[in-house]
Amino acid sequence: MALRFEVLRQDGEARRGRLFMPHGAVETPVFMPVGTQGTVKAMTPEELRALGAQMILGNTYHLYLRPGPGVIREGGGLHRFMHWDGVILTDSGGFQVFSLAPLRRITTEGVVFRSHIDGSEHFFTPEKVVALQRELGSDIAMVLDECPPYPCPHDEVEAAVDRTTLWAERSLAATGGEGPALFGIVQGGTHRDLREKSARELLALGFCGYAIGGLSVGEPREMMFAALDWTAPLLPPDKPRYLMGVGAPLDIVEAIARGIDMFDSVLPTRLGRHGGALTRKGRLNIRNAQYIHDFGPLEDGCACYACTNYTRAYIHHLVRAGEILGVRLLATHNLYFTLRLVDRAREAIARGSFAAFRDEWRKMEPLGEKIWPVYKI
Among residues 11, 85, 91, 229, which one is catalytic? 91
- Which neighbouring-strand residues pair with 285? 276
- Which neighbouring-strand residues pair with 105? 112
Beta strands of 157-309 (E only): which ranges?
Answer: 181-186, 209-212, 241-243, 262-265, 276-279, 282-285
- Which neighbouring-strand residues pair with 91? 59
Check if the beta carbon of residue 133 is closer than 8 Å to that of residue 92.
Answer: yes
Rounded (10°) CA dihedral 76, 82, 84, 88: -80
- Residue 280 exposed, middle or buried by CB count within 10 Å (0-12, 13-18, 19+): middle
> In this structure, what DSSP letter does residue 349 have?
H
CB atoms < 10 A from the CB of 245, how many? 25
CA atoms within 13 A of residue 283's CA, in its CB half-sphere: 19
Beta strands of 52-171 (E only): which ranges?
Answer: 55-59, 87-91, 104-106, 111-114, 121-124, 140-142
Residue 270 main-chain phi, psi, to 5 deg? -65, -40
Check if the beta carbon of residue 167 is closer than 8 Å to that of residue 145.
Answer: yes
**Sequence letter at residue 88:** I
Can 264 be counted among the known catalytic residues? yes
What is residue 355's three-state secondary structure?
helix
Among residues 11, 145, 251, 264, which one is catalytic? 264
Can 193 be counted among the known catalytic residues? no
Q: Which residues are catalytic?
A: 91, 264
